[in-house]
Amino acid sequence: MTIDLQEIRRAMAEADCLATPQQVSAALDRMAEEITRELADANPLVYCVMNGGLVIAGRLLARLDFPLELSYLHATRYGHELNGAKLLDWRVRPTQDLKGRTVLVVDDILDEGHTLKAICQHLSDEGAARVLTAVMIHKDHQRKATPGMRADFSGLDIADRFLFGCGMDYKGYWRNAPGIYALKGH
């Protein structure tokens, strides 16, 4: 697969900025305060959902001033496609003993939520006492896996468009963009 870097650069140059880096930072500060109130004494196991959750987890965890255990898992429905596939693809399953643990799953976005719902169900089935979720973006639409579905902690509610930045990608690129951007025309 050949990537046209001019197309990748053009996508950013033409994108609409829906949340500035400053707005993202303020949302992360607020999320960290909420998570600290809820989990500071819970000895949580935090799972970063790869790849999208990597950027948000790194930025969020640095704001949490309490002991926690960190790991990762990798389950996806998207790959480099613009629309989600139907089946969950487990690339790396959780390996820690979850029995009786409080678990926080950190990801970039709650779009329809099928991936996050399946991950949380798996963690519960493996014995986690409590599974909470944290996402940078709650995509504003009514197509959730469960009606009214929301993460326990979310940074920003954003319009139903194709988004990238802060962990979300455009054809594998721009996860590193510090704001939230929408692809022009989507």
Mean pLDDT over residues 69-81, rounded?
76
Q: Which architecture, in CATH terms, is 15-73+91-160?
A: 3-Layer(aba) Sandwich (3.40)
In this predicted structure, what is the pLDDT of residue 87? Answer: 63
Which is more confident, 86 or 160? 160
Q: Is the pLDDT of residue 80 over 50?
A: no
Residue 133, SS3 per DSSP? strand
Closest to 168 in 3D by CA, of 93, 96, 91, 78: 78
When the pLDDT of each residue in the chain is averaged and rounded to a whole number, the result is 92
Instruction: Please report, for the chain, the start and end positions of each structural domain, with discontinuous segments joined by +.
Output: 15-73+91-160
Question: To which residue do tokens 């643990």 refer?
Answer: 101
Please indicate, yes or no, whether the overall pTM of this predicted structure exceeds 0.75.
yes
> Cα separation of 110 and 106, whole Å?
10
- Please report the pLDDT score of residue 29 as a whole number: 98
Cβ proximity of 110 and 143 under 8 Å: no
* C-beta separation of 157 from 138 below 8 A: yes
